[in-house]
A and B are shown apart, each in its own frame.
Chain A
Amino acid sequence: MLTEQSAYTNRWRKVSPVAKGFFSLCGTIAAFAAGSPRTALLIALILAAATIRGAGIPPLRYLRVAAPALLFLAASCLSLVFSLDFGGTTGGAALYPAVAEFPRIAQVCCRSLACLTALLFLSLTTPLPDIITLLRHCKLPDTLLDLMVLCYRTLFVLSEAVHETITAQSARLGYASFRLSLRSLGSLLANLTVQVWQRSQALHLAALARNNDGALRFLESSHANASKSISIAAGAGAVMIALAVALP
């Protein structure tokens, strides 16, 4: 929900999603173009600064959103740092730090961090309906995008249903003990399955009533000064890539 909140309330909410998507893509390219971990870190910093200072995302919220991905990244980097050796003199497995690979590991980790900040830039500044519009421009298959539209909407409807059911179950001591909790969770899942089926039927009827015959078609949101925003994003993105290429 933090991502959602930021996407709808940030300073660049009204900026064209094409511009933001382009800047994010340039960030990713710059991350891959970076020749050293230091340059990749600089790119990550630029992207994080653009998100925090430019779009006005509070730093603490930024860190809270980034935390799970950062933890995952840290775990992945640690797994790269240590290597398992099965061919030791003792015949058993040995864990040792792959010192020789440190520069490459640092490069991969910093590059991943820069890519992460590029994605965070897009997701924290652009609401999902705008991202779907952007993907539609990129000619992604309609079926996939329709699924995204429905999943995104259903996510909130079902999370409300889950919340209501858990509250009702708790009010009747549904989670008073471990055994009861398991039982309540089971009935929650069964209830949700039925609800999903019923809601999909209701959505189908609602779509028919509004003359739908297959693909979900919506009006694309319009953004003032879109071409100016795209030009600025392209310029800033080009500078970022140039920086990544030029720096050692």
Chain B
Amino acid sequence: MSDSILKLEDVCYRYADGTRALDGCSLAIRRGARTAVLGANGAGKTTMFLHLNGILRPTAGQVLCEGTPLDYSRHGMRRLRSRVGMVFQNPDSQLFSASVREDISFGPMNLGLEEAAVRQRVEEALCAVGMADSADKPVHNLSYGQKKRVCIAGVLAMQPEIVVLDEPMAGLDAAMQDELTTILEKLHSGGMTIVVATHDLDFAYGWADESVVMDAGRLLAHGPPAEILRQKEVQSTLGAAPLVEEITRSLSLIGIDLRAKGYLPRSKKELLKAISDYAIQEGKP
């Protein structure tokens, strides 16, 4: 079985108004990996995601699923979209029904499943995102974060192998972001391949196995975040560096070289632990 589940080969896409959204983009999404796609607004993240789900078709190049070029027929798209779930950025643009349970059932019903199977999938998806208690609430009475969770549940109920989330953290407060990260972790530990577009460098640095940096429709860098997000060119494109990375670098300037001691912190929690361990080692508890 191929290691990359989805692959873009030299994909170009031009919108009807002439905007070149993707320009020779090549990328392989590794099976079971957590991939964070970073880039400024207009870098082409959403356009690339729409290609992964077969909603957009490349004007040049091709998209492959498990080594086979996508079949854009009705049947082919049905098969692809049952494997690749997509969660859009704005929940109000993707929730159809005013009832939480009904909306989650939309995808499985489209798959033509039996009612009992749909019911079971809906309940499982509700539990997976922690929304079982709100299943009977009307969608318009939910908070923004809850609506996002309903959107994720709607995709999970289709039981896809890959979930693509377009800026899932946008508009969420810190607590909700933590909750969403926990949900993503749970899905990943269940073997799901997750691709996330984000502007949150700290989240990408701490969470992802692989990071993809895009700029003006092109793929600028692709690799482990600890490597990629430390590159000067990438940091200059993104306009920032991960905070943990900056603190680690600043500490090394005043003689506290965590990397030299073998610590490679990627999150706030890991950084604090590294500093604490370092202090103990240096006899400064």
Interface residue A206 (Cβ < 8 Å from any Cβ of B): yes
Give the segment of A49-57, A178-186, A207-215 that binds chain B. Answer: A207-215
A221 in complex: contacting residue of B101, B106, B109, CB < 8 Å:
B101
Total A-B residue pairs with C-beta atoms closer than 8 Å? 105
The docked-state distance in angstroms from the alpha carbon of A149 to that of B103 is: 11
Whether A202 touches B101, Cβ cut-off 8 Å, given contacts A208-B55, A209-B81, is no
Known: A209-B55, A210-B110, A212-B106. A149 touches B97 (CB 8 A): yes
Residues of B within 8 A of A213 (CB): 74, 78, 110
Asked if A219 contacts B94 (CB within 8 A), the reply is no
- Asked if A218 meets B110 with Cβ closer than 8 Å, knowing A149-B96, A209-B86, A210-B81, the reply is no
Q: Do B86 and A219 touch across chains, with their CB atoms under 8 A apart?
A: no
Tell me the count of chain B residues lying within 8 A, CB to CB, of chain A. 42
The smallest beta-carbon distance between B107 and chain A, in angstroms, is 4
Interface stretch (choices A31-39, A58-66, A152-160, A228-236)? A152-160
Q: CA A212 – CA B111 in complex, angstroms?
A: 8
Please determine whether A211 and B107 come into contact, CB atoms closer than 8 angstroms: yes
Instruction: Compute how far the CA of A160 lies from the CA of B77 in the bound complex, rounded to whole angstroms.
Output: 34
**Chain A residues closer than 8 Å to B98, beta-carbon distance:** 127-129, 149, 152-153, 156
The residues in A between 189 and 248 inclusive whose CB is less than 8 angstroms from any CB of B are 199, 202-203, 205-213, 216-219, 221-222
Say yes or no: B109 contacts A127, CB within 8 Å: no
Residue of B nearest to A212 (CB): B110
B62 contacts chain A at the CB level, 8 A cutoff:
no
* B96 near A150: Cβ-Cβ < 8 Å: yes
Which one, B78, B92, B93, B103, contacts A211 given CB within 8 A? B78
**Contact among A156, A160, A202 for B88, CB-based, below 8 A:** A202
Give every chain A residue within 8 A of B26 (Cβ-Cβ). Answer: none
Question: How far, in Å, is A129 (CB) from chain B's closest CB?
Answer: 4
Contacts of B95 in A (CB 8 A): 153
Interface residues of B (CB under 8 A from A): 50, 53, 55, 74, 77-78, 81-82, 85-86, 88, 90, 92-99, 101-103, 105-111, 115, 118-119, 122, 137-141, 154-155, 158
Q: B-contacting residues of A (Cβ < 8 Å)?
A: 4, 8, 127-129, 149-150, 152-153, 156-157, 160, 199, 202-203, 205-213, 216-219, 221-222
